[in-house]
Structure 1
Amino acid sequence: MAIIYLVRHGQNEMVGKKLAGRLPGVHLNEQGHAQARQLAAELSALPIKAVFSSPLERTQQTAEPIARIHNLPVITEPGLIEIDFGAWQAKSLKQLRRNRLWRDVQEFPDGFSFPSGESFVAAQTRIVHSLQSISQTCADTDKIICVSHCDPIRLAVAHFLGMPLNAFHRLRIDTASVTVLNLAEDKVSLGPINALAGFFAGQE
């Protein structure tokens, strides 16, 4: 098992405006690249054993500076990918909030599937399975980076905290934040959750 540092990708032009989903070509903006460099510098003192990332560009670009500073490759892990938002992908949040199904997304996600896309239940199962599979190849003290997306990270945290899926929206996961998940053989523990710039500076 392992200590997993769950990293949300850095800022891009669609954050808070549109559901980027699995659209190709969504890259970090200037702020996002700065966040990735700062995060890499802060994590440089940690003995990171491996760096995994969702296949999408914004996560790969966040993972690359971390991997580079540790002389490691970025390992693409499909299970860390963003939710498949189906027909909602690329639509503005302003537009989606007027959709009659938006209330179900916010209040009853455990029964919701995105039109022509993925359900929250399936996404949660996927991300949890991916993290457990990665962890099972490691020793208890191994520190592993996994770069993913807001909702998959929130769904994973909710699962390991034993929270109902319908409450997962209460969790906040900011861009370039780190959430630490300790998957030891005999217990699971979390903390910090949504740690922001400065938290890991100087830690080993």
Structure 2
Amino acid sequence: MTTFYLIRHGHNDFLGKRKLAGRMPNVHLSSEGYRQAEALGRILSSVKFEAIYASPLERAVETAEPLARDQGLDILIREGLIEIGYGSWQGQSIKTLRRRKLWSIIQNTPSLARFPEGESFPEAQARVVAEIEALRDLHRSKKASIACVFHSDPIKLAIAHYLGMPLDLYQRITISPASMSVLAVSDSSIRVMGLNDTRATYVTPEF
């Protein structure tokens, strides 16, 4: 049994601006995001992780850093955990994008949607699921707890897959900044043990 803690990165300035950061470089955690990252490390201190993986984007790595420090582990970068390729939508405001015809398709039938010059939702889901399965193969020799720090849409797509949900219903899942969702996978069973745990959002900083 491999237990995956699927952790979304913390708050960043692009979220505050209501813009689609996508794979843009140099998008860092905000002060609130750093506080959330430290809280995640404290909340998960009782879990002994075998490995900590992260998307290559800065906001994911920065979220993983307190957890890796406290666990005495290195952060292992996995390209398969990267954000969806939003193509030419990257960096644009949500207000502007909502006026596009494609926005309605993404919200209602994402299985038919591809971002201009970017990734389709079926491609993104297949990529993330393949990554999780590859990590399970790496850690299948014993019971292991694995942290994966990445992004909202890829986490939602992975959870939808393991719940057996049609891709077109994946938008019903909410994954908040700095939230944790827990997935237990073995050769004979799959269990979603927790979804969108937002304790890190509400923990009072320790001084």
Fold match, TM over 0.5? yes
TM-score computed with the length of structure 2 as normaliser: 0.94
Q: What's the counterpart of residue 105 of structure 1?
A: 106
The amino acid that maps onto 2:147 is: I
Give the deviation of 1:141 after TM superposition. Answer: 2.0
Task: Output the CA distance in 1 between the equivalents of 2:39 and 2:101.
Answer: 40
- Aligned-pair Cα RMSD in Å: 1.4
Give the deviation of 1:135 after TM superposition. Answer: 1.0
Give the deviation of 1:198 after TM superposition. Answer: 6.1
Q: What's the counterpart of residue 174 of structure 1?
A: 176
Rate the CA distance shift 1:188–1:14 in 2: closer, same or farther, 3 A: same
Q: What's the counterpart of residue 133 of structure 1?
A: 134
Give the deviation of 1:170 after TM superposition. Answer: 0.4
Q: Deviations over 1:150-191 (max 9, x none)?
A: 000000000000000000000000000000010111110002
Asked if the contact 2:10/2:34 (under 8 Å) is kept, the reply is: yes
3-state SS in 1 of match to 2:122? helix
Give the deviation of 1:196 after TM superposition. Answer: 1.3
TM-score computed with the length of structure 1 as normaliser: 0.95
The amino acid that maps onto 1:12 is: N
- 2:87 is aligned with 1:117: no
Give the count of matched residue pairs: 200
Give the deviation of 1:13 after TM superposition. Answer: 1.2
Q: Deviations over 1:4-38 (max 9, x none)?
A: 00000000011260110000000000000000000
Q: What's the counterpart of residue 14 of structure 2?
A: 14
Task: Extract structure 1 runs of 4+ deviating beyond 3 A.
Answer: none
Q: What's the counterpart of residue 190 of structure 1?
A: 192
Task: Output the CA distance in 1 between the equivalents of 2:138 and 2:184.
Answer: 14
Task: Output the CA distance in 2 between the equivalents of 1:119 and 1:187.
Answer: 28
Task: Output the CA distance in 2 between the equivalents of 1:158 and 1:28.
Answer: 27
Unaligned runs of 5+ in 2: none
Greater helix percent: which structure? 2
The amino acid that maps onto 1:187 is: S
The percentage of counterpart residues that share the same residue type is 43
The amino acid that maps onto 2:30 is: N
- 2:58 is aligned with 1:72: no
Task: Output the CA distance in 1 between the equivalents of 2:61 and 2:83.
Answer: 13
